[in-house]
Amino acid sequence: MHFDNKYMNIAFNLAKKGMATSFPNPSVGCVIVECTHDFKNDKIAGFGFTQKGGRPHAEAKALEKVNFKKTKKYLCYSTLEPCSHFGRDVSCLDKIQKTPISQIIFALKDPDKRMKGSKIKKLSVDGKTIRSGILKKDLFKFYEGYFLNKIKNRPKITLKMASTLDGKITSSKKKWISNSSSRKIVHHLRSNNDAILVGSNTVKIDNPRLTCRINGLENTSPIRIVINRKLDLTEDFHIITDRSVKTILISSLNKEQIPKHLKKKNIEIINIKNEKFNLKTILKEISSFGINNLLVEGGARMAGFFLKSKFVDELIIFRNNIIVGDAELSLIKFKGNYNEEEFQLKKLMKLKNNILEVYRSQSSLFFMKKNIEKY
């Protein structure tokens, strides 16, 4: 159709609006187009995106706004295949089926196992036209974390670090290595991720809040996750006292060993036995919460932990223009041997006296290429 890209782009922009608030569901955008039977005089009859907390779905919101007319033709554009399984409400496909919509167009098939045997094929038998693949490359990048969760049982992982020009993460003469422009981008990064992960050492040394503190983003702070095997964080740390944002602590202790001050509202403990305490298991547990996009902000050891395990999809480095010498801490610290992995530089941006570097791992690029073709 001559206007496919136009309306799928509008749906894509709608999906972006719900990105920071649709958790635990992926944010979907939907546009319902009204036109004549020869596909002329097209206009938007209804639109919507996934609402806060994942409900209502985009298609349901779009349908609410449509005043169907017998003399017109209707097409539905969705960024992701409309759901066909029953949850807390009737499925979106069932709602669409009851309308005069003649064409259902979406960018990508949904990898959710509940969508196997989807009713979408039956709709084509019932006379509705089903098409997919519009802007699928752009939309797959947007839904990469969701696809990783459903296919590999882990979220998309973005590792964020700040460094001096000679690869150090501390400076005895400066409180911050990154500048205010870089830190503003970090807060936007946090708002675009479902969760942020650090190690217990970062909490003990820096006592961070790990929230979004920019005007307009205050209510989009991600879930805070801390790997804290011994559960030895005292109750005076910000992530324990501030319960406006959910905090997950990952521990190897039994439930009976959890300290009283951690048995409070908005604090959740994930218990993983010592023999299974590895990054693969940790990420599987995290993904079970519906976390599709994870930002890792730990220190040199945490960076080494993720890089060595080959789980970093995107690497972001804010690099300052100063050289501090060998006395300061290095950017990455590996425990044991490290098998080389190639990263591709995707973006360079000057931020006053900082440089933003964005890299993608070869394995993540391969995953995208393979599954763009499949879905």
Backbone angles phi, psi at 43, to 5 degrees: -155, 165
pLDDT at 172: 64
pTM recorded for the entire structure: 0.94
112-126 pLDDT tens trace: 988 876 667 666 656
- What's the token pair of residue 281? 């298991």
Taking the CA atoms of 252, 253, 255 and 259 in sequence, report the sign of the dihedral they define.
negative
Q: Where are the beta strands (DSSP E) in the chain?
A: 29-35, 43-49, 73-80, 103-108, 129-132, 156-163, 195-199, 223-227, 247-251, 267-271, 293-296, 314-320, 343-351, 354-361
The reported pLDDT for the residue numbered 371 is 96
- Calpha distance 337→319 (Å, rounded): 26
- SS3 label, residue 94: helix
pLDDT value of position 125: 53
pLDDT of amino acid 137: 96
Q: Three-state SS for 79?
A: strand
Task: Give the pLDDT confidence of 312-354 residue by residue, as tens digits.
Answer: 999 999 999 988 887 667 888 877 777 778 899 999 999 999 9
pLDDT value of residue 124: 64
Handedness of CA 88, 92, 94, 98 (dihedral sign): positive
Q: Which top CATH class is 4-142? A: alpha beta
320's CB contacts (< 8 A; 6+ apart) are: 162, 163, 164, 165, 177, 178, 179, 353, 354
Low-confidence stretches of the chain (pLDDT beneath 70): 87-88, 117-119, 121-126, 171-175, 327-328
| Paired residues of 48 in beta bridges | 30
Q: Using an 8 Å Cβ cutoff, are 342 and 362 in contact?
A: yes
Quick check: is 59 catalytic? yes
pLDDT at 62: 97
Question: Is 206 buried (19+), middle (13-18) or exposed (0-12) by CB count in 10 A?
Answer: middle
Residue spans per domain, the chain: 4-142, 152-374
Active-site option among 59, 285, 314, 328:
59
What is the pLDDT at residue 84?
A: 86
pLDDT at position 333, please?
82
Domains 4-142 and 152-374 equal at CATH topology level: no
CATH superfamily for domain 152-374: Dihydrofolate Reductase, subunit A (3.40.430.10)
